[in-house]
Amino acid sequence: MNITFESDLNVIKLEDVMVSLHCHHYNCGLVKALEDMEGVNAIEIFIQAATEEFYKNFKNYISNHLEDKPGGEKIEAAADLYRFMGFGRLDLSQLRESGGKAYADSSYYVTGWLAKYGRRKTPVCHLTCGFLSGIMSAIHGKPLGEYSVEEKRCIITGNDMCEFVVSVVT
């Protein structure tokens, strides 16, 4: 991954797109604030924003670096991106154009949430759902929102892995 830093502007760019670093107090605090909101499905907004950003930026990454590469290489690059950004480690090897399952044996939001709030009874990897939906559309040349993702199992609820089910929206 190509990362640059302009010290006189405090601008970091990942593959020419502006990014910033935040700690778990903010990232998990943001999720908690959104989950606590009434009257609007703020987590849906959160997932949709992640879907859009990972779709747009990974599509560009494919176009710049992986255009003629097989799907497996693109999938591997997506997992590398996820790990590079600090979100954890994903096994995407079982994903196909028709969907499938993805697994995480390490999750930023689980680690951060446990550190800040402790255990909880519901999955917490909302960002990963958006990530998977976005990169699947980018990899398979589908429109944004073609894939829905549900986290069926999460480490934070006591499982040994997070499990994400990826389906084509009918």
Residues engaged in binding another protein (CB under 8 A): 5, 7-12, 14, 17-27, 29-30, 32-34, 36-37, 39-40, 42, 45-46, 49-50, 52-53, 57, 82-90, 105-106, 108, 111-112, 115, 127
Nearer to another protein, 40 or 170 (CB): 40
Nearer to another protein, 21 or 70 (CB): 21
Task: Quickly list DSSP for 82-117.
Answer: HHHTTSEEEE-TT-BTTEEEEEEEEEHHHHHHHHHT
CB of 163 to another protein, least distance (A): 17
Nearer to another protein, 89 or 152 (CB): 89
Nearer to another protein, 65 or 97 (CB): 65
CB of 97 to another protein, least distance (A): 25
DSSP, collapsed to helix, strand or coil, labels residue 58 as helix
DSSP, collapsed to helix, strand or coil, labels residue 137 as helix
Residues 6 or more apart in contact with residue 125 via CB below 8 angstroms? 104, 107, 109, 110, 151, 154, 162, 164
CB of 130 to another protein, least distance (A): 9
Nearer to another protein, 37 or 169 (CB): 37
Inter-residue contact 95 to 110 (CB < 8 Å): no
CB of 85 to another protein, least distance (A): 4
CB of 6 to another protein, least distance (A): 9
Give the largest Cα separation in the chain, rounded: 48
> Residues for the chain: how many in total?
170
Token digits for 28? 């998990």
